[in-house]
Amino acid sequence: MSEKALAYLKENRRNLLEKLNDFLSIPSVSTDSAHKKDVEAAADFIVTYLKEINFENVEKQETGGHPLVYAEYNGAGPDAPTVLFYGHYDVQPVDPIELWKSDPFKPEVRDGRIYARGSSDDKGQVFMHLAVFEALMKTEGKLPLNVKVCIEGEEEIGSENLYEILHDKKEQFQADFAVISDSGMVAKNQPTILYGLKGFTGIEITVTGPDHDLHSGMYGGAVRNPIMALNHILASMKNVEEVITVDGFYDDVEPLAENERKLIEQVDGEDYSEPAGIKETASEKGYTAKEHTMARPTFEINGIYGGYQGEGTKTIIPSSATAKITCRLVPGQDPVKIQQLLEEHVNKVAPSGVTVEVKKEKLSAKAYKVEPNHPLIEKAARSYTKAFGKETVYVRMGGSIPVVEWIEAIYDMPIVLLGFGTPDDRLHSPNESFPLDSFDKGMETLVYYWNEVDNS
């Protein structure tokens, strides 16, 4: 039942890759208002594609921000299951641009990988789904199940309008299960079922001392330096054993069970040093790197700045300093409560002579876990294995996908995280890429999966 579609994908591979290039060439950077029209153009690309393959009710929904693309396929009939396919067509910013070897929006294939911003996260994977729908429609004239398409343009900036839409339009988006391809395999060509995601919360701390930069000769010794004050605050929040030392932070953490520790141990191919370019890993005392990335919370400073950053020296006591912090959470932790604990801690330890402001990041998400032996999960694992020729591993991921938590909260349906990315893809970094192997074998996986699902 899959052969014709697979043959179609093979025969039309070049055309499909060219079409993917067109999609990747649109600089749909959601965080940058200068690219608003490009984001719109990426939405239009998907709308056009879905119409070409005869999906119904294809629409670009206004959200208040970037548009959401919706479409339906009902041709499988009322007895067939309906899948909610979610993805996003927006991408991360590209800075620092000087570190890219090729233009992030002029896709290039090098060493079996497609290099472009969004090739892995998430346009490459979204496109794979649309191409598979195309292959099935063109060869069979129908799909083996019904589909509701939900492809948004704000994932990289927090999907801030999505929850409301999913909530208010529950009937429109209702389905039997959801599939998302916005994650990765533990290694190239290693089928991976993601059965857990971390939650997410963030704050921004700004320490202000003098109301303007001061001459460090005139005022050094009289004025608390805001950068040093910020250092003391941050150093008090996580120690060198990688234990988060904010009061109450670990109170609600679901402990790492012994059987999960074994599962994690069995996950091969989790090498951090090489892809990261580091000599040794560093993890929470008492946990391995794998255990910490998969099942323990994190506290990460994403950026820090204050004072003079240019060439040479500038002898000032700067007016202020800022740090941006995000935390990845595990089951049990409440993101809003964590923000409060962080804020309380900062206010408690802030030294005299400066004022401290804590801004709470609006985006947040609880951690997510699903049972690895759910039938839909098992079918996904089998489809993967058929396409990639390897046993599937089951992992929990260090990252977060807020839409997963929302779908679970609103729809209470199983969510299958079927990702085809790899550790070397360099998500959120310069020189993002996506393997052609993932592109080809991933689409093969999807062809098998849609055909399996209708036989449940």
List the beta bridge partners of residue 326: 202, 300
Q: Exposed e or buried b for every residue in 99-124, given b needs 16+ CB within 10 A?
A: ebeeebbebeeeeebbbbbbbbbbbb
Of 56-64, 106-114, 163-171, 270-278, the window that binds a second copy (rule: CB under 8 A) is 270-278
Which of 245, 272, 332, 454 binds a second copy (CB under 8 A)? It is: 272
- The answer for residues whose C-beta is within 8 angstroms of residue 350's C-beta and 6 or more apart is 207, 229, 233, 356
**Is residue 148 involved in binding a second copy (CB under 8 A)?**
no
* Stretch binding a second copy (CB under 8 A), from 147-155, 260-268, 317-325, 379-387: 317-325
Residues in region 153-182 near a second copy by CB under 8 A? 157-158
In this structure, are residues 119 and 433 in contact, taking their beta carbons and an 8 Å threshold? yes
The closest of 374, 377, 346 to 359, measured between CA atoms, is 346
Q: Which of 153, 306, 435, 442 binds a second copy (CB under 8 A)?
A: 306
- Taking CB under 8 A as the rule, does residue 332 contact a second copy? no
Q: Which is nearer to a second copy, 168 or 265 (CB)?
A: 265
Give 172 or 208: the residue with its C-beta nearer to a second copy: 208
Residue closer to a second copy, measured from CB, 114 or 323: 323
Task: Select from 142, 139, 163 the least CA-distant residue to 152.
Answer: 163
Cα angle: 241, vertex 246, 248; to 5 degrees = 115
Q: According to the binding rule CB under 8 A, does residue 336 interact with a second copy? A: no
- Stretch of residues binding a second copy (CB under 8 A), selected from 39-47, 134-142, 211-219, 371-379: 211-219
**Binding residue for a second copy (CB under 8 A) from 140, 169, 219, 331?**
219
What DSSP line would sit under 14-57, residue for residue?
Answer: HHHHHHHHHHHTS--BTT-GGGHHHHHHHHHHHHHHHHHTT-EE
Would you say 290 or 379 has its CB closer to a second copy?
Answer: 290
Binding to a second copy, residues 32-91 (CB under 8 A)? none
Q: Which stretches of 175-232 are assigned E, i.e. beta strand?
A: 177-180, 192-197, 199-208, 214-215
**Could you say which residues in the range 414-453 bind a second copy, by CB under 8 A?**
423, 426-431
CB of 438: closest distance to a second copy in angstroms?
16
Determine which residue in the list 43, 69, 321, 453 makes contact with a second copy, applying CB under 8 A.
321
- By CB under 8 A, is residue 206 in contact with a second copy? no
Rounded CA-CA distance 410/425 in Å is: 32
Query: Where in 361-420 is the site for a second copy (CB under 8 A)?
Result: 361, 363, 397-400
- CA 226 to CA 217: how far, in whole Å? 16
174 or 429: CB nearest a second copy:
429
> Which among 452, 375, 370, 379 is positioned nearest to 405, based on CA atoms?
370
92 lies in the site for a second copy, by CB under 8 A:
yes
Residue pair 394/419 in contact (Cβ under 8 Å)? The answer is no
Minimum CB distance to a second copy smaller for 74 or for 231: 231
